[in-house]
Structures are given as C-alpha cells and as structure tokens.
C-alpha cells in the first residue's frame, strides 16, 4: 500500500511538473509568435550587443516550417506546448485505467520535441551569429516536460498499454479535443496578431483591392498624430554634411535610420522607407546612418563578427562620392536575400554593376576620412542611446525596432495630410486611381 501511495504521488508530481513546463513553453511561444508577427516590439530577453537575436532568427527562412515557406516555427511550438499542457492536465484528471496510454503518448511527443529542439538548437547556437535567447528558454521547457513524461513512463513501465502503439494511438484519438483546442487557440492568436491589430494600426481601413495600403481615414488621423507625439523626443542631431540620404532637401518630413547591414529587420525597415518615399514623392528625406554591430569598427559593441558589417558601412559611405549611394546601400541589404556575405568580391561585383569604380571605392573604404565619417554616425548613435538596430527618428520622435508597415504608413500619411490637407488627398488619389 505504501509503495502504491508513493507511486501515485510520483505520477501526480510528474504530471504537475510537465504541466508547469508546458505553461512556460506556451508563454514563451506566444512571445516569439508575437515578435515574429511584428505585434511585440520589445527586445526583452533577446538583445545581445545591441542585436535582437529573436527577431533576426524570426526573419530567417530557417525559422519557418515546410522548407522555409510555411508559418513561423513559433506557431508550431505554441501548438506543441498547448497540446502537452492539455495532455498533462488530462492525466491529472482522467481515470487511472487510461493514464498508462496517455503516459506513452506524452513520452513519444516529448522525445520528438526534444530531438527537434536539438536540431533547432544547433542552428540557433552554431549557425546564427546572435542566438535567439527566448528559443533557448523553450528548449529548457521541453527538457523539463520530457522529465515529467519520463517519470510518468517510469511509473507505468510495467503496463502494456504504455508501450503498445495501438493503445497510444487510441489515446491520441480519445484526446482529439485537446489537439483541436490547441489548433483553434493558435489560429485565433495568429488572426489577432497578423490581421486585426495591423488593420487597426492602419486606421481600420485595411488593404485595398489592389494590395496597397489605402490612405489613412479622416477619423483616425488625430489619433495617429497623438500616437506619434507620444513617442520619446529624440536628441537633435546635426545633419549638415551627411551624404547618405534619399529625398529632397526641402522635404517636410525627415527620418533617420540607424542600421546594420546584416540585421534582417534593418533590411525590412529600409524597404519600408523606400516604399514610403514612393507613396509620397518629394515629401520625405531619409538619412541612412550606420551602427555596425561589430567591434571591428564600432567600439560600442563588444564582439567582432568578421568585419562584414563594417565593410558594408564603409562601402556605403564611399558610394556617395561616385553618386551611386542608393544602388550600393540597398544592394548591400539585398545580399541578405541572396545569402551572401559582405565580402570584397561581392562588393566589387555590386560596385561594377552600379556603374562605379571599384579601385576608387576600395581605396576610400580604407581611408581615415571614411572612418571619421563612420565615427560621426557612431557618436550620434551614442547620443540617441542606440541599443539595438534598427532605431529610427521619425520627424523628431524616437522609435526603436522595425515598425509594422501599416503603422509607419499611417504615421507618414497623418503627417503629410496634417501639413498639406486636401491637396495631399487629391495628389494621392490622382496617383492611385481606383
């Protein structure tokens, strides 16, 4: 009797341990899914030397299921932990005669999850420069869940139902509602993160039938202006003499972006700024500033990472001398799409294709004058307290991280319409006929 009581206590503690691990995994997976969808902008627990490893991993094809073309792996992780939590809870509540098969099912699932996490951990820790720390916490959650499942399996080790594949499958079928509930929760959160909130950020209009973002509605303009003005006021930076820009000098809206060429979200932010300049011609002047996340040229960063980010910054700084800055700047970011390093050979090919002189650019890259120009960006970044890239100054207001495209479009719409009123509406309508 004493042995049976201890066995029951062990099974209960194992199920509680597994349930707690699953709850922790659910919280972490929701955070990762929110970051990957653009809903959560916080870099809490993710930033290493100013770079958000969670976002960087989320922007990589390796973070997507179905050969890099499906949803982010965080959604699969959320489904996995929700299912585990439901099964551990079911073991606590179900009749004793069904617990053995459920223990076998939990052991199979947690073993699979641990093996799969091992593959992800290899990618995360040894392939990517900056690891995703939230992902590492999920690996520990899976290991603890495996421990709970193993303790349950130890308690039911003599039961044929735990080892019989047919019984385990029947247990999974009997618990169909657990998996269905997990799927519906994931679907609901995905819709909430990727549709409802983004439409709201754009003013409730959503995207029009042509796939573009319609002009911000009148009823939302004052609110968007208030949101923009609620952002922190950025220190005033002197832009005289800067050569890294696009847009006319008399543009009414000025934006500065501090970025690193190997940061995926910097790439996305730069593409958003290009889109906004096309959306509102001659209304934006964008200054592209450099904050390489590499100690090779940036003393504000503690680790050296091959000098590739520094190569890119130096090449972009020198490109303006040959009037090929936009092609070089955006071309270097496009190396991310082709998975190229920012090496000298790649930069030479890009310079030639942009119509520039590679020997002249190479000589400029290694000059003291170019390092002084880079140091100016680094000093301004220090004044702004840049801790992660991208960091944007939007008409004097500070925004850290990559803004959702609908939100920043709404902000620029509101700022342009505030300055120009009906004339801007008429111009937009003329350039974007229904």
- Report pLDDT digits (tens) over 138-169: 999 999 999 999 888 887 766 766 667 777 78
**At residue 253, what are phi and psi to the nearest 5 degrees?**
-120, 130
Report which secondary-structure segment, H or E, holds 289: strand 284-290
Cβ contact 258:377 at 8 Å: yes
State how far the Cα of 260 lies from the Cα of 192, in Å rounded to an integer.
31
Do 263 and 129 touch, CB atoms closer than 8 A?
no
Res 2: pLDDT: 34
Go through the chain and tell me how many residues it has: 434
- CA dist 202 to 316, 356, 400, 407, Å? 33, 40, 19, 6
Reading the block at residue 279, the tokens are: 């959306």
Residue 189 pLDDT exceeds 90? no
**69 burial via Cβ count (<10 Å: 0-12, 13-18, 19+):** exposed
The distance between the two most distant Cα atoms of the chain, rounded to a whole number of Å, is 87
pLDDT-derived band of residue 3, with 50, 70 and 90 as boundaries?
A: very low
Mean per-residue pLDDT for 17-42? 82
Residue (of 154, 186, 183, 175) closest to 105 by Cα position: 175
Q: Are 273 and 286 in contact (CB under 8 A)?
A: yes
As a whole number of angstroms, the distance between CA 405 and CA 129 comes to: 26
Strand partners, 257: 288, 392
SS3 287: strand
Average pLDDT (85-89) is 92
Q: Where are the alpha helices (DSSP H) in 94-174?
A: 99-122, 133-155, 160-163, 165-174
Q: What value does the CA radius of gyration of the chain take, rounded to a whole number of Å?
A: 26
Mean pLDDT score of the chain: 84
Least confident stretch, 215-219, 298-302, 303-307: 303-307
Residue 421 burial (CB < 10 Å; 0-12/13-18/19+)? exposed
Decide if pLDDT at 202 tops 80: no
Identify the pLDDT of residue 14. Answer: 87
Environment class of 300 (CB within 10 Å of its CB; exposed 0-12, middle 13-18, buried 19+): middle
Q: Helix, strand or coil for residue 382?
A: helix
Please tell me which residue, 24 or 122, carries the higher pLDDT value. 24
User: Is pLDDT of 200 > 50?
Assistant: no
Q: How many CB atoms lie within 10 A of CB 217?
A: 14
């Amino acid at each position: 009797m004493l042995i049976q009581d201890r066995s029951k206590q062990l099974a209960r503690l194992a199920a509680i341990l597994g349930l707690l691990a699953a709850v922790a995994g659910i919280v972490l997976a929701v955070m990762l899914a929110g970051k990957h969808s653009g809903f959560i902008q916080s870099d809490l627990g993710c930033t290493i030397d100013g770079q958000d490893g969670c976002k960087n991993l989320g922007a990589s094809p390796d973070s997507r299921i179905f050969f890099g073309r499906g949803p982010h792996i965080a959604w699969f992780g959320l489904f996995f932990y929700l299912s585990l939590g439901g099964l551990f809870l079911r073991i606590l509540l179900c009749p004793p005669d069904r617990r053995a098969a459920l223990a076998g099912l939990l052991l199979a699932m947690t073993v699979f999850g641990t093996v799969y996490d091992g593959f992800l951990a290899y990618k995360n820790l040894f392939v990517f420069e900056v690891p995703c720390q939230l992902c590492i916490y999920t690996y520990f959650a899976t290991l603890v869940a495996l421990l709970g499942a193993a303790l349950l399996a130890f308690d039911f080790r003599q039961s044929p139902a735990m080892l019989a594949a047919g019984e385990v499958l029947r247990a999974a079928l009997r618990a169909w509602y657990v998996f269905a509930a997990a799927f519906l929760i994931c679907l609901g959160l995905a819709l909430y993160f990727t549709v409802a909130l983004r439409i709201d950020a754009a003013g409730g209009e959503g995207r029009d039938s042509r796939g573009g973002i319609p002009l911000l509605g009148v009823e939302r303009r004052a609110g968007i202006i208030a949101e923009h003005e609620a952002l922190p006021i950025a220190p005033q930076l002197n832009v005289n003499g800067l050569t890294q820009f696009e847009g006319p000098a008399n543009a009414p809206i000025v934006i500065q972006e501090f970025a690193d060429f190997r940061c995926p979200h910097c790439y996305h932010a730069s593409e958003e700024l290009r889109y906004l300049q096309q959306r509102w011609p001659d209304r934006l002047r964008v200054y592209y500033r450099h904050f390489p996340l590499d100690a090779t040229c940036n003393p504000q960063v503690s680790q050296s990472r091959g000098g590739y980010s520094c190569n890119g910054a130096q090449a972009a700084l020198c490109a303006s001398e040959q009037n090929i800055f936009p092609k070089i700047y955006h071309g270097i970011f496009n190396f991310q799409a082709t998975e190229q390093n920012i090496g000298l050979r790649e930069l030479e090919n890009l310079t030639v294709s942009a119509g520039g002189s590679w020997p002249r650019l190479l000589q400029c890259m290694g000059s003291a004058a170019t390092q002084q120009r880079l140091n100016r960006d680094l000093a301004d970044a220090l004044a702004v307290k840049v801790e992660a890239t991208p960091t944007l100054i939007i008409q004097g207001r500070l925004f850290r991280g990559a803004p959702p495209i609908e939100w920043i479009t709404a902000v620029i719409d509101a700022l342009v319409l505030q300055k120009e009123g009906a004339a801007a509406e008429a111009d937009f309508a003329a350039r974007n006929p229904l």
